[in-house]
């Protein structure tokens, strides 16, 4: 991003934040897949961020996964209601509750060309991140976050 206001404005800054969060999500999903051996093909995207089409599409493009948006986007409340329903014997299991209660509003499929471009950007992001961590380790810069207990 440029600091020139003719090149970078609020919209481009906000989009860069969306793209960064999706790149971090994609990197973490790859780690989960490598650890578990489970192929992740779909992502359920809920909450306030899922209300915008752009962020949902960016997530699909960056991860290469289909992104599904539930009609009820308050996932925490719905999950609590499903758990209570299972506990009260209304549903046999969380799978049963989700099959009966979750309906889908929208779905976003990845754009192959965008996916390839984001793969290159994610590789660069990981390289920069490793170097940034080295600067923190050398105490040349300060980390914005420190894990509890460290």
pLDDT digits (tens, 9 = 90+) for 20-58: 999 999 999 999 999 999 999 999 999 889 999 999 999
Asked if the structure places residue 125 within a domain, the reply is yes
From the number of C-beta atoms within 10 Å of its C-beta (0-12, 13-18, 19+), residue 114 rates as middle
How large is the average pLDDT for residues 145-150? 77
Residue 111 pLDDT more than 90?
Answer: yes
Asked if the structure places residue 4 within a domain, the reply is no
Asked if the structure places residue 150 within a domain, the reply is no
Say if CB 70 and CB 120 are below 8 A apart: no
Residue 2 pLDDT more than 80?
Answer: no
The CATH number of residue 127's host domain is 3.30.420.40
Asked if the structure places residue 3 within a domain, the reply is no
Asked if the structure places residue 144 within a domain, the reply is no
Residue 149 pLDDT more than 90?
Answer: no
From the number of C-beta atoms within 10 Å of its C-beta (0-12, 13-18, 19+), residue 58 rates as buried
Domain that residue 42 falls in: 10-137
The 10s digit of each residue's pLDDT in 123-146 is 999 999 999 989 999 999 888 877
How large is the average pLDDT for residues 103-118? 97
How large is the average pLDDT for residues 105-134? 96
Q: Which helix (H) or strand (E) holds 86?
A: helix 75-87
pLDDT of residue 1: 62
User: CA angle, corner 148, sides to 30 and 17, nearest 5?
Assistant: 50
Residue 92 pLDDT more than 90?
Answer: yes
Asked if the structure places residue 149 within a domain, the reply is no
How large is the average pLDDT for residues 75-79? 91
Longest dimension (CA), the chain: 60
Q: What pTM did the predictor assign?
A: 0.84
- Do the bridges between strand 104-108 and strand 66-70 make them parallel or antiparallel, or are there none, so unpaired? antiparallel
Please give the tally of structural domains in the chain. 1
Structure tokens at 96: 């049963």
């Amino acid at each position: 991003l440029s600091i020139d206001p003719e090149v970078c404005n609020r919209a481009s800054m906000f989009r860069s934040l969306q793209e960064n969060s999706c790149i971090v999500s994609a990197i973490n999903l790859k780690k989960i897949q490598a650890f578990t051996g489970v192929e992740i093909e779909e992502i359920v995207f809920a909450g306030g961020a899922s209300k915008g089409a752009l962020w949902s599409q960016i997530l699909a493009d960056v991860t290469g996964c289909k992104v599904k948006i539930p009609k009820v986007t308050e996932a925490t409340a719905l999950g609590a209601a499903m758990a209570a329903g299972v506990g009260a014997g209304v549903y046999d299991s969380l799978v049963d509750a989700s099959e009966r209660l979750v309906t889908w509003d929208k779905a976003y499929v990845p754009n192959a060309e965008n996916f390839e471009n984001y793969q290159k950007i994610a590789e660069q992001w990981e390289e920069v991140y490793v170097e940034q961590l080295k600067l923190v380790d050398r105490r040349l810069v300060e980390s914005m976050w420190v894990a509890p207990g460290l």
